[in-house]
Structure 1
């Protein structure tokens, strides 16, 4: 019996709009979530934010804790799980057996783990690519061929584990700590690299897998129901999920946001409770954001049908960024590293939180424009090209 050849990576023109829009928007959240961790030289407090915030900095910290922090990476994980099921469904449609697809997902996961290791070694200890790669390796069989029930159980367990894992994240570091990650304050590049690998293994890999594997399962479940592939069919559900998820995310993040913004230490038990609530509600917020982008895709499709005009420029730019999400994610790290750590220009020393947020948003915007220009000139993301070749071989598109 012969099997059909693997169809390779999906062509850019055939990609689904809503997940790419979500990936493009998600990268802004990730930039905002990451950039304040590059700040050093200030007393560090809960969730890696500086202590004793006031004025605009306090407002920015509160806003990020309710809308960004702990919400961006679960969204990334959800979209990753969605993409794995799309990959599996595409191969099932041409007759590839499940074991071949599981092997492919694991192969892709191992290469992502290597990319994550190199990302951490050279640039950023908070790398998440390696964690998603390891999750793919560990859960490939479940994500490709597991039952809906098994995925639901995994999602529930993963959500609970995420809440437990993030409970301690609300605790402040020991007195005298002046950087969320010690590698940021090290002036020697080789020493900083050694610090980053230790930080990545403990936080970016092990802890991150515990935090995101439930969201990956949720993404695979959503993909099986084609919720973002066919958002118009699920409009009512998307409206409810968007409103409810974001509301839960905001309200669940509010206690920790108030504690951090006010600079108050209400006691160990309250900090732990606020950390757990913040982590659990982050899953709801991430799902709500994904639903918002599904609704945006519905609006854009209706607009095109009504006016026969192409998508607006902002939508094309977001889509281009989403299609190159790995390249854009890595490019953010390059930009932040050039500017902020002590072993490069050192501009992160004592940087106000509101300024760091502007840097994060500005870097995202520049990369968004570059991605848009790349799409208009038919240039694919270099990291995507590399990962596709490693996964499918040089003969694949």
Structure 2
């Protein structure tokens, strides 16, 4: 009977009202969505699947090389890392809030499990019917694992997170070469994906989508470790309360900013020397000498360090009234993160795939940048308009209604 009462209590529980949401956290999510969009548009536009000679033949080739380097240094893997940190922080903050409200962690843990299972279902539909690059499945499955870490201290969570995201992939790397795709296999997979995605036939596109999904789950085997590590570090941040009371903990964010920018810059410089034909003893040492393990360690540490840098810089800027006036405009987009993420997929496929307008990679990375900024601005404006009338985004409403076991009130109630 007690278990039935607990389940019933969870079913009738309601989400936190807008007044209790942390605007800073929502604004950070909105900011992270810009990086996610730019990275994903590189795949949506099919630029990722054309050969170097085809890229050089594009009229935008000179600018594309500059943008590619800038994205490698500033965006790639950093945006998903920031989003992951926020996901973990949000869970810890929800756990603290619900624990204070209901007096028991059992309620919030069961609710979290239901939310993750619903998110997994949404992710499976998104991945297998639309886009192979879906990350919702990874968040849902690893988000369930967070339940095992709810009693750990922030310090322990942070240490485990760094070990999982940075050290563990380096330790596993020597054991995996025979299992990973070869260069020839990667080229064949890209060619097959190109053929499927430029096709105007939905069945062909879906078949290619499934094949690409299977290939990438092996090729990017370390991604789940990065995500789990980021979730644990984000959970540590949420447990410590430094995000909820960011002004009180300003010194923490300044120290985090300094540490992360130092690590991120050092890693970025050394990796550019390694990956872009750098000359000299250091470059050779990183590519072929005893520095190979160090280079691998830096490769895993760089996105985590830069994700923490973006978070720290954003938090500190948000504390200043002039910056907060503009940055808070990203909060509605962050509140509708799931809706906007799925909408980005639909727009991307509709614009670039053969089943849509079929624009393809003809505009290069210049087009990716322009389309990305335009789409982001439109989504930000739409999010503000929508949340001026409704409590949740469309996808958030579905997610929450299924998780809470009943349809949530959608329209805002006007106060006379």
Smaller-chain TM-score bracket: 0.7 to 0.9
> 2:370: which partner in 1?
358
- Secondary structure (helix, strand or coil) at the match of 2:248 reads helix
What is the CA distance between 1:361 and its match in structure 2?
2.0
What pairs up with 1:221-370 in 2 under 5 angstroms?
221-257=236-272, 270=287, 277-300=298-321, 312=325, 314-370=326-382
TM-score, length-scaled by structure 1 = 0.83
> 2:204: which partner in 1?
191
Tell me if the contact between 1:57 and 1:353 (Cα under 8 Å) persists in the aligned partners. yes
What is the CA distance between 1:162 and its match in structure 2?
5.1
> 1:208: which partner in 2?
223
What is the CA distance between 1:339 and its match in structure 2?
0.6
What pairs up with 1:1-397 in 2 under 5 angstroms?
5-6=9-10, 7-38=13-44, 39-40=46-47, 42-43=50-51, 55-142=62-149, 144-148=150-154, 150-159=156-165, 160-161=167-168, 174-175=186-187, 178=190, 181-182=193-194, 183-200=196-213, 203=216, 208-257=223-272, 270=287, 277-300=298-321, 312=325, 314-378=326-390, 380-394=392-406
- Secondary structure (helix, strand or coil) at the match of 1:127 reads coil
Distance in 2 (alpha carbons) for counterparts of 1:267 and 1:52: 31
Tell me if the contact between 2:154 and 2:237 (Cα under 8 Å) persists in the aligned partners. no
Distance in 2 (alpha carbons) for counterparts of 1:112 and 1:383: 10
Change (3 A) 1:199 1:148: same
Where in structure 2 are there 5+ consecutive unaligned residues? 410-416
Distance in 1 (alpha carbons) for counterparts of 2:349 and 2:173: 26
Change (3 A) 1:179 1:233: farther
Change (3 A) 1:388 1:127: same
Cα RMSD of the aligned pairs, angstroms, is 3.6
What is the CA distance between 1:380 and its match in structure 2?
2.3
Change (3 A) 1:210 1:196: farther
Distance in 2 (alpha carbons) for counterparts of 1:156 and 1:295: 23
> 2:413: which partner in 1?
none
Tell me if the contact between 1:62 and 1:254 (Cα under 8 Å) persists in the aligned partners. no
- Secondary structure (helix, strand or coil) at the match of 1:253 reads helix
TM-score, length-scaled by structure 2 = 0.80
Where in structure 1 are there 5+ consecutive unaligned residues? 305-310
Tell me if the contact between 1:21 and 1:293 (Cα under 8 Å) persists in the aligned partners. no
> 2:414: which partner in 1?
none
Tell me if the contact between 2:198 and 2:360 (Cα under 8 Å) persists in the aligned partners. no
Distance in 2 (alpha carbons) for counterparts of 1:178 and 1:134: 27
What is the CA distance between 1:232 and its match in structure 2?
0.4
What is the CA distance between 1:328 and its match in structure 2?
1.0
Q: Deviations over 1:91-124 (max 9, x none)?
A: 1102343333322222111111111111112222
Q: Rg: which structure is higher?
A: 2
Change (3 A) 1:390 1:29: same
Distance in 2 (alpha carbons) for counterparts of 1:179 and 1:361: 28
- Secondary structure (helix, strand or coil) at the match of 1:9 reads coil
What is the CA distance between 1:249 and its match in structure 2?
2.8
Structure 1 stretch 196-205 or stretch 346-355: which is displaced more? 196-205
Distance in 1 (alpha carbons) for counterparts of 2:85 and 2:192: 26
